[in-house]
Structure 1
Amino acid sequence: MTSDYLFVNKKILPDYLDKVILARDLLASHEADTITDAVAKAGISRNTYYKYKDYVFSADSPTVGRHVVLSMILKDEAGVLNSVLTRLNELHTSVLTISQALPIGHKANVLISLDISKVTVPVDEITKELKELNHVRSVHMDAMD
């Protein structure tokens, strides 16, 4: 593995990591005036906060990633890719690359890399929005940096 970073679902992580993010958010939003106040509200120790504060981030945090790679399976029908691109534009993403394989079995595999630096919704909201489009069979986030 060449990277020190992993993109994992928080369901497999201990709860205190989510609480570290909460404490940091409380400080950033001025809902807590001190670290002591923030960790008390989050329900963790100061030691836990200091140990992990520089290592855990939420996927929708502005400090995490500006680029995302999505793989999708679309129905091979005119206008489907256009509807995906239109929705991505509405979400304020910027398409960097598009790679589409030759459609087989009425399905088209598409790989899209996006600049998400101007997006105002969480990253998982992008995949959710795309999954709701007609003729989009699946959407998967392959990478984020």
Structure 2
Amino acid sequence: MYNKYLVIDKSILPDIFDKVINAKELLRTGKAKEVTEAVKKVGISRSTFYKYKDYVFTVSEGGIGRKVTISLLLNHRPGLLSNILNIIANAKGNILTINQDIPINSTANVSITFDRANTIVELDVILQQIKEMTGVAKLRLIAME
């Protein structure tokens, strides 16, 4: 049997999962030296932390895949797609495919698949940088392999 993974928006999950992630981050960054200190800071029990720590990951931490496909709805602006590709390239992502529709009503659908095996920036940071760009009307993480 193999493990199955789901990518779920954390807004629909109980807060406990986010707290486990926060405790793991405190330990990883050295802001908490021991599990007891980390769980106390985030407000969960040690048993809760140990129950979920090996099963709850951020998208970047999970390592469940190296190929990422995102779907974008972009305003028709010169250089916008190039800037998005530069964000991925600057993070050492390797673009695999780009599919772009012809702009209709000044917006175009674009899908980009890239390899994140050698990225130096976490995936959620890359996605946030793209999402915050002027002209990006919508961004969705479609798949990870």
Question: What pairs with 1:1-145 in structure 2 (closer than 5 Å)?
Answer: 4-61=4-61, 63=63, 65-76=65-76, 79-145=79-145
Shift, 1:57, TM fit: 0.8
> Aligned in 2, Cα 1:99/1:47: closer, same or farther, shift over 3 Å?
same
TM-score by length of 2: 0.74
CA displacement 1:96-138 (0-9 Å, x = unmatched): 1112234444433211011223334443332332244454432
Moved over 6 A (4+): none
Separation in 1, partners of 2:20, 2:83: 38
Unaligned 5+ segments in structure 1 are none
My pick for the range that moved more, 36-45 or 52-61, is: 36-45
> Is residue 57–residue 64 contact of structure 1 (8 Å, CA) maintained in 2?
no
CA shift in 2, pair 1:73/1:37, >3 Å: closer
Matched length: 143
Change in Cα spacing, 1:46 to 1:128, as seen in structure 2 (3 Å) is closer
Q: Deviations for 1:26-69, whole angstroms, at most 9, x for unmatched residues? A: 33334444333332333211221121111101234264543321
Q: 1:90 to 1:49 in 2, by over 3 A?
A: same
Specify the SS of the correspondent of 1:37. helix
Identity of aligned residues (%): 41
Inter-CA distance 83–43: structure 2 relative to 1 (3 Å threshold): closer
